[in-house]
Amino acid sequence: MALLAGGKSALYIDGKLSDGGAGTFATLNPATEEVLGVAADADATDMDRAIAAARSAFDDTDWSRNTELRVRCVRQLREAMQQHIEELRELTISEVGAPRMLTSMAQLEGPVNDLAFAADTAESYPWRQDLGQAAPMGIPTKRTIAREAVGVVGAITPWNFPHQINLAKLGPALAAGNTVVLKPAPDTPWCAAVLGELIAEHTDFPPGVVNIVTSSDHGVGALLAKDPRVDMVSFTGSTATGRSVMSDGAATIKRVFLELGGKSAFVVLDDADLGAAAGVAGFSVCMHAGQGCAITTRLVVPRSRYDEAVAIAAATMGGIRAGDPTNPKTICGPLISARQRDRVQGYLDSAVAEGGTFACGGGRPEGRDVGFFIEPTLIAGLGNEAKVSREEIFGPVLTVIAHDGDDDAVRIANDSPYGLSGTVYGADPDRAAGVAARIRAGTINVNGGVWYSADAPFGGYKQSGNGREMGVAGFEEYLETKLVATAAN
């Protein structure tokens, strides 16, 4: 089976591959600006069909009650993706602009393997819990807690890590017994549409359980939050769009999971190895051109060593070139689109306007007139009140901010509308842990610890969202709790 034969993808609705009511739209290679092919362009009627199919599959079949079938289907999807992993790798590099090296990690192989956690969790999960017998109001009663699927889940996903985010929603939602309508970002339709082909050819998913609706129109995705037939929306994307999803969902009081933006701080204490810390901060912000919501984009360092930190981070970032994602050595590939490149450049222009300077980078790489590239850029001379220090840029851009001790570092880290991630480096483990405990963020890396794992919950505080994805907590986002009280005669 050749994936996406003919350079065209289809919708996957009610167990069938089909064309889109609005025709097709192009998907581009962000490194070359070449058209890769076209994707089916869904309209509102297509989305209506998808929601109806998901509703019927949940209400009229035993999918939500047949754990054995669900586990088998999720494992079949994992196996199918593994069998086609090299085709998927090339697709991901081409459509996402993801550096090849990252496809062996969170851009592809990691999330595919993580489907096993969703299946294993469903297989061993305590779906029913006996609370024992009591006599509330004098009536002998046996009580049982049952965990059941929420129902129809609308999953709306972004373009930066499409496989990771698509599968982090599909895996647990399906394993938990829900049916799903997936609406991916218009920038990366193929990474989602290919799942429809694999499901149709290689799995036993019943019709309507999984529906994949690609569209160039963001309004088509918004229908998921508005439609009363949808019980839950799981959204990953910008905070601004997350507000709209929450507002639309409020009309039907549907459950809304939001994983939104971040402006995470990399805090370096005065006893830390500054060379290691500043080097790591500079390197990490360049990975995938900084297009990750949990990447640390504020380097908060002791004021007395500010210039040294700037020099170290600039040396690291200046040695990383924005380049061809097909090259196994590339760390920083292109941004996803011309629109995103222009947006990042606008932030860089604002940094200069506010009095900042570039220790390295500052614009498009010399000699790269084709492709949506921005040089790794280090901004110095600005405080935490600057626009580039407060807003999510989503590019390979790091701002260095001075602090005057642990309390001030914590204040700066928390002085943000976001609270998704963070890092603390310090020689004294207890001191570093104490600072980490005071930072209001959903994930914290202390001295290089890795928080990304299938069994670990991920999510944020404040305007970085609500709820958790991945881990048992992420699985349980897709469950309802029912108490069954039976009279004990």
Q: Which residue numbers are catalytic?
A: 259
**Distance between CA 339 and CA 320 in Å, rounded?**
23
pLDDT at 149 exceeding the cut of 80: yes
* CB crowding 1-28: b at 16 or more within 10 Å, else e: eebbeeeebbbbbbbebeebbbebbebb
CB 313 within 8 A of CB 378: yes
pLDDT for res 2? 82
Residue 275 sits at φ, ψ, to 5 deg, of -60, -45
Between the alpha carbon of residue 194 and those of residues 112, 218, 414, the distances in Å are: 13, 20, 40
**Distance between CA 481 and CA 457 in Å, rounded?**
20
12-25 pLDDT, tens per residue?
999 999 999 999 99
Helices (H) and strands (E) in the chain, counts: 15, 23
2-260+464-486 has which CATH code? 3.40.605.10
**Distance between CA 427 and CA 432 in Å, rounded?**
7
Q: What is the rounded average pLDDT of the residues 97-125?
A: 98
Angle at 395 between CA 408 and CA 103, to 5 degrees: 115
Structure tokens of 299? 């380097």
Same fold: 2-260+464-486 with 265-446: no
CB 419 within 8 A of CB 461: yes
pLDDT at 44 exceeding the cut of 80: yes
Residues 369, 374, 376, 377, Cα dihedral to 10°: 110
The CATH classification of domain 265-446, taken from the options 3.40.50.1970, 2.160.10.10, 3.20.20.70, 3.40.309.10: 3.40.309.10
**Distance between CA 451 and CA 464 in Å, rounded?**
17
DSSP codes, 197-247: HHHHHH--PPTTSEEE---S-HHHHHHHHH-TT--EEEEES-HHHHHHHHH
pLDDT for res 85? 98
What pTM was estimated for this model as a whole? 0.97
460-474 pLDDT, tens per residue?
999 999 999 999 999
Mean pLDDT estimate for the chain: 97
Q: What is the rounded average pLDDT of the residues 138-149?
A: 97
**Which class for 333: exposed (0-12), middle (13-18), buried (19 or more C-beta within 10 A)?**
buried
pLDDT for res 56? 98
CB 15 within 8 A of CB 211: no
pLDDT for res 489? 80
Of the chain, the end-to-end C-alpha distance in Å amounts to 61
**How is residue 155 annotated by DSSP?**
E
76-101 pLDDT, tens per residue?
999 999 999 999 999 999 999 999 99
CB 443 within 8 A of CB 234: no
pLDDT at 1 exceeding the cut of 80: no
3-state secondary structure of 8: strand
Residues forming beta bridges with residue 279, ordered by sequence position:
none
**Distance between CA 446 and CA 474 in Å, rounded?**
23
Q: Among residues 286, 293, 292, which one has the least CA distance to residue 378? A: 286
Structure tokens of 428? 């004294």
409-458 pLDDT, tens per residue?
999 999 999 999 999 999 999 999 999 999 999 999 999 999 999 999 99
Q: What is the rounded average pLDDT of the residues 252-263?
A: 97
Structure tokens of 301? 């360092």
Residue type (1 letter), 45? T
Structure tokens of 118? 């969703």
The domain locations on the chain are 2-260+464-486, 265-446
Angle at 168 between CA 165 and CA 172, to 5 degrees: 155
